[in-house]
């Protein structure tokens, strides 16, 4: 017997020191148990009844409780229940000391929170084994609890970080003009963490850019890519850059910062209310649909490009499709979320259903809401908890947008440069490679209150600049542009002359001074070209018909005055503006 005991007994160093509460009303039993447990190297607290056991537990919070079932005052069952309550989340193994044998009594012990029994007469080896087993169970529970707490802490931190990230994101990726009257969109509030992105910006020329992006992946990695995209989008759109310029810049940035395998499927629309046309680029995203309101027909604009952030700048293709639109025509953009929204059987909503819903809607104004309803009905979820994103852009008249874009005019009046002038001279090396219009537009947009007029100003600047460069410095003749053939020849010659250019310059003299509720902007563009006989030309109502575009007559309608000066190599435009246009 002695030998057996020694074999089972672990080395002293392996014994975990525990604090054990023994509650037994029987003095001799308690004495035996206490002696055995103490010899195992544990600290023992003793109690003579249930109430004492509870009191000691409260004071000492021991690791394991050995509890006699039948005790005076408060019995073992009740003490066990109270101790369980006091222990809360912590696991305190309670072992009942009992010579009860009937099933009901044993079940009562378990119901009261006991984990095991120890019957009398006590057996030292069994007691030892049980203490060991419950000590390790307790350790395991502590570990699990600690890990649970850590996980919950991590989770809290993650949620907090997402909230912060979302706030930062919302500040950068403000919705722009997404609430314009001709746009409808569906985007969940946390869409950024699904990798979905919708941006809309007014262009200085009066048009509108709309961008829908869908990043691969979820969570923060997807959201991170969205930030530079929106920053580039808004920054460049407001400065008058083209759809191609913006896409190229976004692609370049994403290619550089995103890891392989993370990219942005996207579609982008450049909508011109004046020309009633749209330029559309689609990369790696479901077909953009064009709805013709008159004929009630749908056209698909298929993705013909890789998503943004996949190929290097030199291989990136910005070829786009230009379509004519009538008032009431709609362009629909979406992420694959709608097409792939599944019902309980795993069946996708699919493009056929999209077409079905659109063509089955008699009043075009209801298309968007009908689509929304149909997808919800298909997935069986009425909450908008899916990550599908869609945008509908409607072609409207420029006058219909006027009110929306004009809103908040006065708020732009504070701060900023109001009274100034500048001269900006562009020499051959610059003329060859640099488009000064975004920079000058940007500078002018710093004038408080002027932004609502940026469309007109951009039109004026670009017309004057191209006249000065092409007809002045390069000495090209616009008569060439009168035929389709000549149009191509004109541009070939332009490229050729520009490449060879080694003298001449274009000078901008810009002057702004404020008046009550507005300002007067004077732009003089001067070139080193030969000039022309503007007296005759003016009678001729300018050489600006046909392929050469709107030209000076259009500018005339926008300004107080347009005057040629000198030998016809200077043109002066005086633009009056008021905040309440």
Interface residue list for other proteins (CB under 8 A): 1-2, 25-29, 31-32, 35-36, 39, 70, 99-100, 120-122, 124
Query: How near is the Cβ of 119 to other proteins at its closest, in Å?
Result: 9
- CB of 330 within 8 A of CB of 291? yes
H-type helices in 173-259, by residue range?
219-238, 243-257
Taking Cα atoms as reference points, which of 568, 566, 381, 577 lies closest to residue 460? 577
Least Å from the CB of residue 60 to other proteins: 22
Comparison of 126 and 515: residue with beta carbon closer to other proteins:
126
**For residues 128 and 194, which CB has a smaller minimum distance to other proteins in the complex?**
128
Least Cβ distance, residue 29 to other proteins (angstroms): 5
Select 125 or 322, whichever has its Cβ closest to other proteins: 125
Task: Judge whether 456 and 575 are in contact, CB under 8 Å.
Answer: yes
State in angstroms the smallest separation of the CB of 84 from other proteins.
Answer: 24
Determine phi and psi for 523, rounding to 5 degrees.
-120, 120
DSSP 470: I
- In which residue are the tokens 């001709």 written? 182
- What is the phi/psi pair of residue 4, to 5°? -60, -45
Q: Rounded CA gap, 199 and 201, in Å?
A: 7
Q: Between residues 30 and 378, which has the closer beta carbon with respect to other proteins?
A: 30
Helix, strand, or coil here: 515? strand
* 3 state SS of 363: coil
Length of the chain: 581
Cβ 86 to other proteins, closest distance in Å? Answer: 27
Number of Cβ within a 10 Å radius of residue 409: 18
Question: Which of 99/277 has CB closer to other proteins?
Answer: 99
Residue (19 or 39) nearer to other proteins, CB: 39
- Closest contact distance (angstroms) between CB of 19 and other proteins is 20
Nearer to other proteins, 26 or 462 (CB): 26
Our CB check for other proteins shows the closer of 125 and 133 to be 125
* Shortest distance, position 138 Cβ to other proteins, whole Å: 25
Q: Which is nearer to other proteins, 69 or 559 (CB)?
A: 69
Q: How far apart are CA 227 and CA 192, in angstroms?
A: 10
Task: For residue 233, give the nearest of 199, 272, 284, 256 by alpha carbon.
Answer: 199
Whole-angstrom Cα distance, residue 490 to residue 495?
A: 9
Contact 388, 337 (CB under 8 A): yes
What is the nearest approach in angstroms of other proteins to the Cβ of residue 31? 5
Min dist CB 67 to other proteins, Å, is: 14
Q: State the minimum distance, in angstroms, from the CB of residue 1 to other proteins.
A: 6
* DSSP β-ladder status, 264-272 and 208-215: antiparallel
Distance CA 451, CA 406 (A): 9
99 vs 244, which CB is nearer to other proteins? 99
Residue with Cβ nearer other proteins (117 or 291): 117
Phi, psi of 174, rounded to the nearest 5 degrees: -55, 155
- The runs of H, that is alpha helices, within 349-453 are 350-359, 367-379, 398-406, 428-433, 437-445
Kindly state the smallest distance separating residue 40's Cβ from other proteins, in Å: 11
Provide the H-helix boundaries in 44-179: 50-60, 76-87, 103-111, 124-172
Closer residue to other proteins in complex, CB, 123/143: 123
**Which one, 2 or 399, has the nearer CB to other proteins?**
2
Helix (H) or strand (E) holding 45: strand 43-47
Please say which residue, 27 or 533, places its beta carbon nearer to other proteins.
Answer: 27
Q: In this structure, are residues 65 and 53 in contact, taking their beta carbons and an 8 Å threshold?
A: yes
In DSSP terms, 45 is beta-bridged to 21
- In the complex, the smallest distance separating the C-beta of residue 121 from other proteins, rounded to whole angstroms, is 4
Name the minimum Å distance from CB 108 to other proteins: 15
Whole-angstrom distance, CA of residue 76 vs CA of residue 114: 10
Distances (CA, A) of 536 to 259, 475, 532, 542, 543: 62, 19, 9, 9, 11
* CA-based end-to-end distance of the chain: 106
Q: What minimum distance in Å lies between the beta carbon of 16 and other proteins? A: 21
Burial class (CB in 10 A: 0-12, 13-18, 19+), 159: exposed
Minimum CB separation of residue 128 from other proteins in Å reads: 11
Q: Does residue 121 have a cis bond before it (omega within 30 degrees)?
A: yes
**Cα separation, 521 vs 55, whole angstroms:** 88
| DSSP one-letter code for 35 | H
For other proteins, the closer of residues 32 and 224 by Cβ is 32
Contact 390, 185 (CB under 8 A): yes
Q: What is the CB neighbour count within 10 angstroms for residue 80?
A: 28
């Amino acid at each position: 017997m002695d030998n057996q005991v020694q074999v089972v007994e672990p080395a002293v160093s392996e014994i975990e020191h525990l604090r054990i509460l023994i509650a037994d009303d029987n003095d001799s039993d308690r004495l035996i148990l206490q002696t055995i447990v103490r010899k195992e190297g544990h600290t023992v607290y003793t109690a003579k009844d249930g109430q004492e056991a509870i009191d000691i537990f409260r004071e000492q919070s021991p690791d394991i409780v050995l509890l006699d079932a039948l005790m005076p005052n408060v019995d073992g069952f009740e003490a066990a229940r109270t101790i369980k309550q006091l222990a809360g989340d912590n696991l305190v193994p309670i072992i009942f000391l009992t010579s009860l044998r009937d099933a009901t009594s044993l079940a009562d012990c378990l119901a009261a929170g006991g984990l095991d029994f120890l019957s009398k007469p006590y057996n030292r080896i069994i007691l030892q084994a049980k203490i060991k087993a419950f000590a390790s169970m307790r350790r395991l529970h502590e570990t699990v609890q600690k890990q649970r707490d850590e996980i919950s802490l991590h989770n809290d931190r993650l949620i907090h970080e997402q909230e912060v990230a979302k706030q930062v994101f919302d500040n950068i990726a403000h919705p722009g003009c997404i609430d314009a009257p001709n746009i409808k969109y569906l985007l969940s509030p946390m869409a950024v963490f699904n990798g979905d992105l919708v941006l809309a910006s007014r262009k200085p020329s009066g048009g509108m850019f709309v961008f829908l992006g869908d990043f691969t992946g979820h969570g923060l990695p997807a959201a991170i890519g969205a930030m530079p995209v929106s920053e580039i989008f808004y920054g460049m759109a407001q400065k008058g850059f083209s759809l191609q310029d913006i896409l190229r810049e976004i692609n370049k940035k994403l290619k550089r910062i995103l890891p392989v395998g993370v990219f942005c499927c996207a579609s982008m629309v450049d909508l011109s209310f004046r020309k009633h046309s749209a330029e559309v680029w689609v990369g790696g995203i479901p077909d953009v649909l064009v709805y013709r309101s008159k004929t009630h027909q749908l056209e698909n604009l298929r993705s013909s490009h890789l998503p943004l952030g996949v190929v290097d700048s030199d291989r990136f293709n910005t070829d786009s499709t230009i379509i004519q639109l009538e008032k009431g025509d709609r362009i629909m953009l979406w992420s694959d979320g709608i097409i792939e929204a599944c019902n309980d059987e795993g069946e996708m909503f699919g493009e056929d259903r999209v077409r079905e819903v659109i063509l089955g809607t008699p009043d075009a104004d209801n298309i968007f809401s009908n689509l929304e309803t149909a997808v919800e009905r298909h997935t069986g979820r009425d909450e908008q908890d899916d990550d599908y994103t869609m945008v509908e852009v409607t072609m409207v008249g420029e006058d219909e947008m006027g009110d929306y874009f004009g809103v908040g005019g006065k708020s732009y009046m504070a701060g900023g440069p109001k009274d100034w002038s500048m001269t900006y001279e562009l020499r051959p090396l610059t003329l060859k490679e640099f488009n000064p219009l975004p920079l000058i537009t940007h500078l002018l947009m710093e004038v408080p209150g002027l932004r609502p007029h940026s469309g007109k100003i951009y039109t004026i600047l670009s017309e004057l600049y191209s006249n000065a460069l092409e007809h002045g410095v390069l000495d090209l003749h616009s008569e060439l542009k009168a035929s389709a053939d000549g149009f191509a020849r004109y541009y070939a010659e332009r490229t050729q002359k520009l490449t060879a250019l080694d003298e001449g310059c274009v000078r901008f003299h810009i002057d702004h001074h404020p008046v009550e509720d507005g300002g007067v902007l004077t732009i003089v563009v001067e070139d080193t070209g030969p000039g022309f006989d503007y007296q005759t030309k003016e009678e001729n109502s300018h050489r600006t018909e046909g392929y050469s575009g709107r030209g000076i007559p259009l500018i005339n309608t926008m300004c107080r005055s347009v005057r040629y000066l000198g030998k016809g190599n200077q043109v002066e435009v005086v633009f009056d503006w008021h905040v309440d246009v």
